[in-house]
Structure 1
Amino acid sequence: MARVLKLRSGALIPTIGLGTWKSAPGEVGAAVARALDVGYRHLDCAHIYANEGEIGNALTAFLAGGKASRDEIFVTSKLWLNSFHPDDVMGACQTTLKNLRLDYVDLYLTHWPVGLPRDAPSPAAGPIPMDQRLPWDVSKFVDTWKAMEKLVERGLARNIGVSNFTVKKLTEFLAHDLTVLPAVNQVESHVYLQQTKLKEFCKSKGILFQAYSPLGSPDRPAKLIDPNDPVPLKDPIILKIAEKHKCKPAQVLISWAIHRQTVVLPKSVNLDRIAENFGSYDVKLDEDDMKQLEALECNCRFIKAQFLLLEGQTVDEFWDNDIININNGQIHPTEHGSAFTNNQSRAHWPIGLALDAPPAGQIPMDQRPGWDVKRFVQTWKAMESLVDKGLVRSIGVSNFTVKKLTELLEEDIRIIPSVNQVESHIYLQQSKLKSFCKDKEIVFQAYSPLGSADRPAAMVAPNEPIPLKDPIVLRMAEKHKCSPAQVLISWRIQNGSAVVVKSVGRDRIVENFGSFGVKLDEDDVKEIERLDCGFRFVNGQFLLREGQTFDEFWDHE
């Protein structure tokens, strides 16, 4: 396991650093002193943490003792958002250096991708007014970055980088003419938010991926805590691996991050835990451990940045819709218990895959199992335990046919599925399945109600029908003075279904929600019912077995 990694400048950065967010004055100095004494050579600081003065005193005292030289200690700090104006960057860095009692920092990061006005309050003082929250503007950020580059020129910062950047924002930023490329992207990352796509993108651009909140930030402010959030330090898989290696759960989480070639920043002011965390270098996880931990990915973000959201902006939009779904590789009774926390959890398909199965579209035939109700019941029992533990309120299934639902309901299960989420639209109305679900008190939930026009090209047939362009739908939209999408959504709702509509267009999202105001009459509904032709847009071809037809996969329904 690497104890240091190399930045693009050639500088070496220790792979475990002491995080100092939420480390209170009166505690942080002792924490830093303890960390340096046990071997930490990396401190992660920030002006907004309001504790750099005490950190500077502890660091100065340690260096005066002769146990290490300044060039052996890697110190990071961050530019706060109300100093993003190019004229303010130099002064902000100099303030940090004065507080830390240093001539330079090894790494200086922009704390978030967006700035704030100079007079914006600190988040600790209360909510930032909406009229002071600024959108992402790559041109303005580049202006800030040019001022950051001057810190390197003057020797005040040896390296500069970014924090909380997505692939989209990095791509836009790197397209500009930069003199100094970012050395680091510091982001939230842990077993529930592994950010593999972002990590690989950073690697391809020579940017080091650095993880904050690797333990799940259990002491984050109360206003950031959802009572249903999973807790990495209490995850059964983590506990099992910790018992196996005779170590602490935190050491498993930190070791996992280092095994991934990630710099990791665990925070603690507990003197014993600080030493324990540094001992994570001695925990050697094996291939099976890594696979089990990788299977815990569920896109659970603890630091959502609500304080920066614009009016009407969702958390997903702020993070550029960088979302994943629970995958079939997690449909295994011993792994699924930690998959994620939400109001509802569904098994994504009726059949599971091996934990090491590649992404859809690349799954070898010999890794595609058939439907096996007994194996699925084992998964379902593990799903039931999620309800028992309060991690989810309801559990359900997805892409189940009448035949598969019948077989599942005949088994000895305690909790009946609350939902069956399936493809359903005007060309695939699934009336028989809907009636069956209603009889069994299972909510029928429709995905792809607009026909999934933006699905991957490999799934698109050249002559397939397009619901949004169907002449009957267009005529009804004109009749009701609404959009075609609103006709399709309203029909599904009036038909007694829950409907899941996907869009990233802000206007379309609002427009789709307005479908509640569209009232189709009896003639409209009858006309739409005549459009049913059993056409599937999402046909599950990535799961077909050798020689199996689509009709066989869908039980000839």
Structure 2
Amino acid sequence: MSVKKVLLNSGHRMPLLGLGCWQSPAGEVEAAVETALDAGYRHIDTAFVYLNEEAVGVGLHQWLNKTGNKRSEVFVVTKLPPHGMSAEGVHKFLQKSLKALKLDYVDLYLVHLPVGLKSKHDLDILAKRDDGQFDIDEGTDLIAIWKEMEKLVDMGLTKSIGVSNYSIKQIRKTCAISKIKPVVNQVGESGVACILQQRQMQEFCKTHNIFLTATLPSPRLLEDPVVRLVAERHGITTAQVLLRFLVQQNIIVIPKSVNPERIKTNGDLWSFSLSELEMEALTTLDKGESGRSFVFVGSGMTEHPEYPL
């Protein structure tokens, strides 16, 4: 499998397909990373808050040692956690991630969420209020944080920087003051899959040469009659239809799985293509904001002044 790549505004190339590690248990993600790399994936996406960076690093290094491939052949992404959303937290938390991954640099470092949260004193544990919700940091300064992100590139700790779960307004503000532009906006569950296509966000990012990364296709569409019909016509799975719909628009995809066969199947996106008619049919499945299924309700985050939704 030869995965297609896109050219980022930083000058680096990023594979359109990656293995997402969100919700993948540390005890299983190690083997999943090896399986994915064996299957031809060259892009691994994790995050500090996924609590599996160390296992991801073990899987990566085992594969490198086994195959003799170079570190530079794998595009590694991780993210600044919400409780690292301060000028001093940016460098501190990337160093923690690099130590866990046992890497000298990552290829892409993202601001995970524009919402800053407080941590317990001297501990990297999220603080919670008496009502059980996260203790938000209302003083989160996205501009100051981005300036610190830019320094990471200058220091050689990451090749590129980007954002995740940002609104158009937040990206526009970041671009306006940036020396180094975001290369990517990674959107959450259902973010640009058929059920929530965010056409305005797509057009904005395209205009500013920023790529979108979709975490996973909405499970709600796997049994959709239109998706099933397209899958049957090609002899593929419905997940492959949804993933191909995205990569065919140059949207980066990072489906998550620890199942070896599903990892391999999800990665087979280059042996077929969707017709113009099929792409149009899938476009009609957009439900707008009613299709959004992940909004952090009940976490306290919605009270934050930078909450993006």
Say whether the fold is shared (TM-score over 0.5): yes
CA displacement 1:147-204 (0-9 Å, x = unmatched)? 11111111011101000011122123323x2221111110122110111110110111
Match of 1:200 among 199, 203, 225: 203
CA–CA separation in structure 1 for the residues paired with 2:13 and 2:128 = 34
The residue number in structure 2 matching 1:305 is 296
In 2, Cα distance between equivalents of 1:192 and 1:289: 15
- Whether the aligned pair in 1 keeps the contact of 2:112 and 2:164 (CA below 8 Å) is yes
| Alpha-carbon distance, 1:283 to partner | 2.6
Q: How many residues align?
A: 298
**Structure 1 residue 210 and structure 2 residue 213: aligned?**
yes
Deviation at 1:123, TM superposition (A): 9.4
**Distance in 2 of aligned mates of 1:35 and 1:122:** 31
Residue 63 of structure 1 and its aligned partner are, at CA, apart by: 0.8
Of 214, 238, 252, 1:263 maps to 252
Query: In structure 2, do the counterparts of structure 1 residues 127 and 155 end up closer, same or farther at CA, with 3 Å as the change threshold?
Result: farther
The one of 252, 267, 270 aligned to 1:278: 267
Task: Give the match's secondary structure for 1:117.
Answer: coil
Instruction: Give me the whole-angstrom Cα distance separating, in 2, the residues matched to 1:37 and 1:125.
Output: 45
CA gap of 1:259–1:135, structure 2 versus 1, over 3 A, is farther
CA distance in 2, matches of 1:110, 1:84: 8
Instruction: Give, as a single letter, the amino acid of the residue that structure 1 aligns with 2:118.
Output: P
Question: Structure 1 residues 170 and 73 mapped into 2: Cα distance closer, same or farther (>3 Å)?
Answer: same
Equivalent residue in structure 1 for 2:234, among 245, 257, 265: 245
Written as runs of structure 1 = structure 2, the 5 A alignment for 1:137-156 is: 140-156=141-157
Q: Which residue of 1 aligns with 2:183?
A: 183
Give the conservation status (yes or no) of the 8 Å contact 2:183–2:210.
yes
Residues 270-419 of structure 1: pairs in structure 2 closer than 5 A: 270-299=259-288, 300-306=291-297, 307=299, 308-310=301-303, 318-320=307-309
1:221-274 CA distance string (max 9 Å, x none): xxxxxxxxxx11111111110001100001001100001111111000111000
Change (3 A) 1:121 1:178: same
Quick one: distance in 1 between partners of 2:129 and 2:273?
43
Residue 47 (str. 1) matches residue 40 (str. 2): no
- In the alignment, the residues of structure 2 paired with residue 127 and residue 202 of structure 1 have an alpha-carbon distance, to the nearest angstrom, of 38
Higher relative contact order (CA 8 A, sep 6+): 2
Cα distance in 1 for residues equivalent to 2:126 and 2:86: 16
User: Which one-letter code corresponds to 1:259 in the other structure?
Assistant: Q
Conserved 8 A contact 1:254-1:280? yes
Larger radius of gyration: 1
Name the amino acid aligned to 2:133: P
Contact 2:20 2:44 in 1 (8 A): yes
Output aligned runs, 1:38-187, within 5 Å.
38-119=39-120, 122=126, 129=133, 132-135=135-138, 140-175=141-176, 177-187=177-187
Give yes or no for contact 2:118–2:126 (8 Å, CA) kept in 1.
no
CA–CA distance in structure 2, aligned partners of residues 29 and 2 of structure 1: 21
User: Relative to 1, partners in 2 of residues 1:54 and 1:46: Cα closer, same or farther, differing over 3 Å?
Assistant: same
Q: Aligned partners of 1:47, 1:121: CA distance in 2, in Å?
A: 12
Structure 1, residues 377-420: CA drift from partner, whole Å, max 9, x if none? xxxxxxxxxxxxxxxxxxxxxxxxxxxxxxxxxxxxxxxxxxxx
CA separation of 1:128/1:191 partners in 2, compared to 1, >3 Å: closer, same or farther?
farther
Structural RMSD (CA): 2.3
Q: Which residue of 2 aligns with 1:525?
A: none
Q: CA deviation at 1:110?
A: 0.4
Find 2:224's aligned residue among 228, 231, 235: 235
The question of whether the paired residues in 2 share the 8 Å contact of 1:122 and 1:128 is answered with no
CA distance 1:242–1:81, shift in 2 (3 Å):
same
* Residue in 1 that maps onto 2:34: 33
Task: Name the TM-score, length of structure 1 as normaliser.
Answer: 0.51
The runs of 5 or more residues in structure 1 that have no matched partner are 219-230, 321-557
